[in-house]
Amino acid sequence: MSTTEIDTIELGEKIVKVLKTIFDPEIPVDIYELGLIYDVFVNEDQEVKILMTLTTPNCPVAETLPLEVEDKVKSIKLVKDAEVEITFDPPWTQDLMSEEAKLELGML
């Protein structure tokens, strides 16, 4: 495994740690465990693209939450740039939540 591969994997892990510090204001669970993050792409140039969704298209934080995600990821020392893309395909459902999130919300 090359140094670049190790670096992007390590950077991906740091990004996930940061994502777990961002909470949906209506649900007391972080956006990663909630299943709002569909994918995190890190290229060799340490540019990040995050594919995420919201619980509903009319989510009250539709304007601010993606910006918060982008800003916090950009604050990671090794990240050169970050972009968040919102998608509703597939739409978010409770099935996307982690077991930890379901336990936290009393759904298990």
pLDDT, one tens digit per residue, over 44-103 is 889 999 999 999 888 888 889 999 999 999 999 999 999 999 999 999 999 999 999 999
Domain count, the chain: 1
Give the strands of the sheet with 81-86, arranged side by side: 37-42, 47-52, 81-86
Q: What does DSSP assign to residue 90? A: S
Asked whether residue 27 is domain-assigned, the answer is yes
CB-based contact 15:48 (threshold 8 Å): yes
Query: Any bridge partners for residue 39, and if so which?
Result: 51
Asked whether residue 74 is domain-assigned, the answer is yes
Dump strand ranges (E) for 1-102: 37-42, 47-52, 81-86
Query: Any bridge partners for residue 41, and if so which?
Result: 49
Asked whether residue 81 is domain-assigned, the answer is yes
Per-residue model confidence (pLDDT) at position 35: 97
CATH number, residue 65 = 3.30.300.130
Asked whether residue 2 is domain-assigned, the answer is no
Give the burial string for 63-102 (b: 16+ CB within 10 Å, else e): eebbeebbebbeebeebeebebebeeeeebeeebbeeebe
pTM: 0.90
